[in-house]
Amino acid sequence: MPKNAAALDFKSASLHVLRAVLHTSDTAELTRALDERMREAGAFYENEPVVLDAQGLDRAPDWRALADALRGHRLHPIGVRAPQALLASAHQAGLAPLDISTGRHAEGRAAARAQPAPSVQPAQAAQAPRAPEAPDTSAPPAAPASRARSAAQAGPAPDATESTPPDADAPAETLVIRHPLRSGQRIYARGGDLIVMGMVSQGAEVIADGHIHVYGPLRGKAMAGARGNARAMILTTQLDPELLAIAGVYRVVETRLPDTLLNRPALVELDGDTLRIRTLQGGH
């Protein structure tokens, strides 16, 4: 190292975080809601940084207890978004005030919301391309949902198949998977769209920051717009999913779909805070 070279430099950077929106200051109620959400989500949010959003509160929760509860689920609280009156107590608990973007419909921004439960939301978009192909790698299924359904898995989570972002300024490419996905596999198309040319089996999971196209039966979980793109869509030639999600709005399919939708070509899109499913007719 040159004699006058600095041992470190500070440089600006963007950070992709989850935003945990607090709808009450009752810490016990918050921890119960967190336990339920993480039981449903499995490993989906594991090891993510989290900002606690208390903008709607006039009283502070027990910041330390809430931070400890998050860490217990392998989440990493890094700061808060709160009214000025609540910041001092958050600071004493080691949580810095953070100013994050929460624009719902901004392209490439995240403001994913799951209603009506307290939500955990991406707070900023990824801008990273990835290799157009990805090998098979197993991962446990995850099932975040607005209606209760447990999908917790025992044991450590294997790595998910995921694209690699070599250059954050390059345009994202579409990730193409040219084989069926078996139960337990998880594919994440970071920064762009995902195409699966084959069946997504029950227990498999496909995630994309953009659109998801499944040319085969969709029987597992599909999560499009994972970092908040509310314009993302899910398309499949045969709809029979366990879970559908777009920009953080979830629907767990706990009962059989109507015959007008089941095993038919379909498109799923977000209309406000509601997932809309419609069949695709030939030629459309």
Please count the residues of the chain.
Answer: 284
Give the end of a domain, one of 122, 138, 170.
122
Burial (CB < 10 A; 0-12, 13-18, 19+), residue 102, is buried
Residue 67: per-residue pLDDT: 95
- Cα–Cα distance between 152 and 40 in angstroms, integer? 6
Residue 282: per-residue pLDDT: 58
Low-confidence ranges of the chain (pLDDT < 50): 103-170, 283-284
Beta-sheet strand order (sheet of 274-279): 175-177, 194-196, 212-218, 234-239, 266-271, 274-279
The whole domain housing 105 covers 18-122
| Average pLDDT along the chain | 76
- Which residue's entry shows tokens 């939301």? 121
154 is a domain residue = no
117 is a domain residue = yes
11 is a domain residue = no
Regarding whether 186 and 91 lie in a shared domain, the answer is: no
User: What number of helices (H) and strands (E) belong to the chain?
Assistant: 3, 17
Q: What DSSP line would sit under 66-81, residue for residue?
A: HHHHHHHTT-EEEEEE
Regarding whether 99 and 182 lie in a shared domain, the answer is: no
pTM above 0.85, yes or no: no
CATH number for position 44: 3.30.70.260
Residue 148: per-residue pLDDT: 30
- Which residue's entry shows tokens 């459309």? 284
